[in-house]
């Protein structure tokens, strides 16, 4: 095969003399030397009787004669084996406790309320129940500190609800209290005016707790200050759409669960925090006396 000019002028290789003036030199790869062996070094090429020019010939000129890949050469290529490592132990994470369950936590029999557990039928209302629906403005002349007027406020609780949307009255006609000690409401419960009569009316009617998505800020504060009932919030939204007035429910403050025994569903409640002890004591002034912040009535 034709080879290019040697870069070694006047160099004699096995009786073949080639000067710098000679443009080309015709040399033939001796028989017995495989094509795939031409990648050997110059020194090995000279020892094998191959001209130095052939040793520097590109692989392309050799492999162009056959459609053969350089990886198919006679060289036995070896690569280091892949190290083996011990398998990491597998871990399984249990799913988080669901907010909603299809089975009740425990069967609860009706009983009198304790400071941490309330049980009875619930009254269900929707979103944006304002204070004028809880106790209309014309009844704000009633003084809660007077026992008879306090009882009157209870008989008027939620009397502002439209009968078309709520055909079952919260307090039956002629009754002083409600048969529904637990109220389940939607979002923004207690919006509207800042009247303290709203939580007082619910407490006077016999409500132990209201479970809503969230409250108007002033209504929540008035509920804690008066200590009339627990304003609880649910972690799951729109639970009022999954409950019906008259469902038997249990509110567990310690475990933070609302259990609907009628449907068999459970709902997680948000912690009430430091407001809990204030409500348990009966309001902000009762809590201050209980903790010694102010003198009690007996020692004053």
Quick: pLDDT tens for 117-154.
Answer: 999 999 999 999 999 999 999 999 999 999 999 999 99
> pLDDT band for position 49 (50/70/90)?
low
Per-residue pLDDT, 64? 41
d(CA 200, CA 228): 6
Better pLDDT: 283 or 116: 283
Asked whether the predicted pLDDT for residue 15 surpasses 50, the reply is: no
101-290: CATH, from 3.40.30.10, 3.40.50.1860, 3.20.19.10, 1.10.287.3510:
3.20.19.10
Per-residue pLDDT, 16? 45
Which class for 234: exposed (0-12), middle (13-18), buried (19 or more C-beta within 10 A)? buried
pTM over 0.85: no
d(CA 12, CA 16): 5
- Please write the tens of the pLDDT for every residue from 176-190: 999 999 999 999 999
Domain with CATH 3.20.19.10 in the chain: 101-290
Average pLDDT over residues 215-226: 96
Which class for 47: exposed (0-12), middle (13-18), buried (19 or more C-beta within 10 A)? exposed
d(CA 139, CA 159): 11
> pLDDT band for position 266 (50/70/90)?
very high
Q: Which of 26-40, 90-104, 159-173, 207-221 has the lowest mean pLDDT?
A: 90-104
The residues pairing with 130 across neighbouring beta strands, listed in sequence order, are 191
> pLDDT band for position 295 (50/70/90)?
confident
- Please write the tens of the pLDDT for every residue from 58-94: 444 444 444 444 444 444 555 555 555 455 444 343 4
Name the average pLDDT for the chain. 76
């Amino acid at each position: 095969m034709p080879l290019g000019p040697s870069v070694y002028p006047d160099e004699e290789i096995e009786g073949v003399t080639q000067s710098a003036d000679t443009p080309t030199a015709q040399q033939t790869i001796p028989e017995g030397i495989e094509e795939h062996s031409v990648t050997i070094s110059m020194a090995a090429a000279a020892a094998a009787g191959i001209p130095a020019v052939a040793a520097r010939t590109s692989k392309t000129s050799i492999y162009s004669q056959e459609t053969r890949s350089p990886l198919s050469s006679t060289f036995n290529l070896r690569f280091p084996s892949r190290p083996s490592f011990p398998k990491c132990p597998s871990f399984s994470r249990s799913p988080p406790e669901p907010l909603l369950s299809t089975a009740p936590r425990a069967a609860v029999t009706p009983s009198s309320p304790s400071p941490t557990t309330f049980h009875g039928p619930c009254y269900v209302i929707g979103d944006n129940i304002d204070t004028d629906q809880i106790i209309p403005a014309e009844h704000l002349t009633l003084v809660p500190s007077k026992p008879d007027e306090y009882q009157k406020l209870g008989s008027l609780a939620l009397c502002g609800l439209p009968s078309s949307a709520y055909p079952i009255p919260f307090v039956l006609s002629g009754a002083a209290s409600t048969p529904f000690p637990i109220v389940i409401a939607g979002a923004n419960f207690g919006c509207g005016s800042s009247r303290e009569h709203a939580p007082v009316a619910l407490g006077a009617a016999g409500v132990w707790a209201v479970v809503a998505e969230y409250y108007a800020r002033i209504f929540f504060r008035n509920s804690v200050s008066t200590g009339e009932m627990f304003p609880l919030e649910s972690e799951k939204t729109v639970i009022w759409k999954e409950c019906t007035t008259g469902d038997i429910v249990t509110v567990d403050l310690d475990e933070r669960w609302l259990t609907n025994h009628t449907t068999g569903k459970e709902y997680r409640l948000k912690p009430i925090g430091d407001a809990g002890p204030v409500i348990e004591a009966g309001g902000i002034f009762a809590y201050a006396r209980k903790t010694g912040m102010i003198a009690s009535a007996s020692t004053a």
